Structure 1
Amino acid sequence: MIKEILPRQAKNLQAAVETMPADKFSFRPTEPQMTFGHLVAHMIDSNYYLCAKASDTAQPKIEPAKETDKDALTAALKASFDFCTTSLAKVDDSKLGDTIHAYGGREVPRAWALIALTNDWADHYSASATYLRLSGLLPPTAQPKK
């Protein structure tokens, strides 16, 4: 199921990041909130972490992009979804009950990573859509069909 969800989420999240102008990557709705660029960096980190955990694949070492560098962040987000596509193709359903260590060292079943991943994609798109709308832009799924 997640392999069917991935292409749509990747397309929408990448389109949201591409829609935001480069000069708005430092935008934050309120002072305590993260900037849009930080949100994108968080998406990248989450993709690598959760897709590696779900697939029992080594998480690659990546050089973090500057949070105001739209081109680098856009390329890094695409690379993270490419990693997810490759690694999730290797998920072994018989191992989804195996124990893994999640954030903070918590022990959870491997299936947790898949559930967390789909939740993250929905949350990240929702946040991106909010940042876009606050910047006077329509998120990709709200744009008229071309």
Structure 2
Amino acid sequence: MSRCVYKDTLAVYGKSAGYSSSLAGGFMRRGITVMLGTIFLGVAATSALAQGGQGGRGRGPGAPACTTVACDVQGDWERNRGLLVGVAEAMPDDKFGFKPTPAQQSFGERIMHVAGIDVKLLSTLGGKTPAPMLNMQATSKADVVAALRQSMDFGAAVLKEFNDQQLSERVTSLPFMGPTASRLRVIYFSMGHSQDIYGQLAVYLRLNGVTPPASNRP
């Protein structure tokens, strides 16, 4: 594994997690696994792994350790937001139309894909926070980053509406999620999808000589 790929992977999963535990399977796998078996026992185990002994990763230094699943979820969302916004901000303005190959989407289009899917998925949770009207035709850095921030702010607000019990409740989400899905599974599916795209965006940056901010560590 090259040093660049290793550091980009650590940016997503974190040093303390490791590849064979915690987040090594990605947010998506963890969310789906949580919903198998006894919901609260599964969530509790997953939450402990997510924190990695760091008191709620993504909630900032000095933040008190999480004691609820809802807190863990909100912390994971904030870390997810930081990675995505950071990688978007790092790309130069004139590279938002960059494509590694003609058949692929541009850097800006990939980010808009994340923003659009997040809003669609999280709108099915049944929260009271109104979904933002994203400019899905955005192409400039300013407009694309603004749309991404809108989607991330929406997600953060919606997640705060649900407690542990409500996160385990089932809702009707998008068709590919099945007839019903727990709110927790929908949320982690959304974050897992974002992390998949983050991995692509990190490559887009490196092809343009830019180190992803989260990978810019010793």
Quickly name the TM-score band, shorter chain normalised.
0.7 to 0.9
* AA in 2 matched with 1:69: S
Question: Residue 120 of structure 1: SS of its match in structure 2?
Answer: helix
Based on CA coordinates, which of the two structures has the bigger radius of gyration?
2
* AA in 2 matched with 1:31: P
Aligned 8 A contact 1:13 1:125 in 2 = yes
Measured in 2, the distance between the counterparts of 1:87 and 1:104 equals 21
* AA in 1 matched with 2:204: Y
Residue 130 of structure 1: aligned partner: 203
Question: Residue 150 of structure 2: SS of its match in structure 1?
Answer: helix
Structure 1 ranges of 4+ moved more than 6 A: none
TM-score between both structures, scaled by the size of structure 1:
0.85
User: Which residue, out of 50, 72, 75, partners 2:146?
Assistant: 75
Measured in 2, the distance between the counterparts of 1:73 and 1:130 equals 18
- Report matched runs for 1:54-73 at 5 Å: 54-57=125-128, 60-73=131-144
* AA in 2 matched with 1:121: S
- For structure 1, which segment, 38-47 or 115-124, has the greater mean C-alpha deviation from structure 2 after superposition? 115-124
Gaps of 5+ in 1: none
**1:19 matches 2:87:** no
User: Which residue, out of 118, 142, 163, partners 1:47?
Assistant: 118
Gaps of 5+ in 2: 1-71
Residue 101 of structure 1: aligned partner: 173
Change (3 A) 1:99 1:8: closer
Aligned 8 A contact 2:119 2:155 in 1 = yes
TM-score between both structures, scaled by the size of structure 2:
0.59
Identity %: 25
Quick one: higher RCO (CA 8 Å, sep 6+), 1 or 2?
Answer: 1
| Aligned length, in residue pairs | 145
**1:139 matches 2:212:** yes
* AA in 2 matched with 1:46: I
Question: Residue 30 of structure 1: SS of its match in structure 2?
Answer: coil
Change (3 A) 1:102 1:93: farther
Change (3 A) 1:14 1:63: closer
* AA in 2 matched with 1:3: Q
Cα RMSD after superposing both structures: 2.2
Q: Deviations over 1:24-71 (max 9, x none)?
A: 111111122111111111111122122222354466251424342110
Question: Residue 80 of structure 1: SS of its match in structure 2?
Answer: helix
Query: Per-residue deviation at 1:89?
Result: 0.5
